[in-house]
Amino acid sequence: MTWAEVWAEVWPPLAAAGAGLALVWGVLVGTLWLRRPDTASLREGLRLLPDVVRLVRRMATGTALPRGVRARLWLLLAYLASPVDLVPDVVPVLGWADDLVVVALTLRAVVRRAGPAALERHWPGTSDGLSLVRALAGLGRATGTAP
């Protein structure tokens, strides 16, 4: 079989997979654009990023949480440390908003499994910061409120 024949058989599935990934990425970027946070909440969320990274690390290294929760947290840390983002950071607003959305979705999943007490127990920052993180996790701003 010649190289041209191999390429002719391999090209269509590769092109289809690439087009599918581009479509999924486009839908994700469009969704982020439509649901982007306002500038004030984005700025607050980015200001909390160091505390959130410490929170995630503390929760991921603790043994009190279920293994699946810790695995999600380790994946989140890897995503935050990775130079590859869903939306490149050079894109205004969306470049940072995608990180905030991924953190919020992961925290919601973690709180659903581990409970809000785990979030509060491991929080390294101020009470105002905890209030914002609780809101990101879908718990409401005041401690002890129902989602």
Q: Give the model's pLDDT for residue 145.
A: 42
Please give the Cα distance from 48 to 42 (Å, whole number): 10
Q: Give the model's pLDDT for residue 141.
A: 55
Please give the Cα distance from 136 to 22 (Å, whole number): 28
Please give the Cα distance from 144 to 147 (Å, whole number): 9
Please give the Cα distance from 57 to 54 (Å, whole number): 5
Q: Give the model's pLDDT for residue 144.
A: 45
Q: Which residues contact 70 (CB under 8 A, 6 or more apart)?
A: 59, 60, 61, 62
- Show the CA angle centred on residue 78, arms to residues 34 and 24, nearest 5°: 35
Q: Give the model's pLDDT for residue 71.
A: 92
Along the 147 residues of the chain, how does pLDDT read in single tens digits? 788 888 888 888 888 888 887 787 777 767 766 665 554 465 666 677 788 888 888 998 888 888 989 999 999 888 888 888 777 777 776 677 777 778 888 888 888 888 888 888 899 888 888 888 888 777 765 544 444
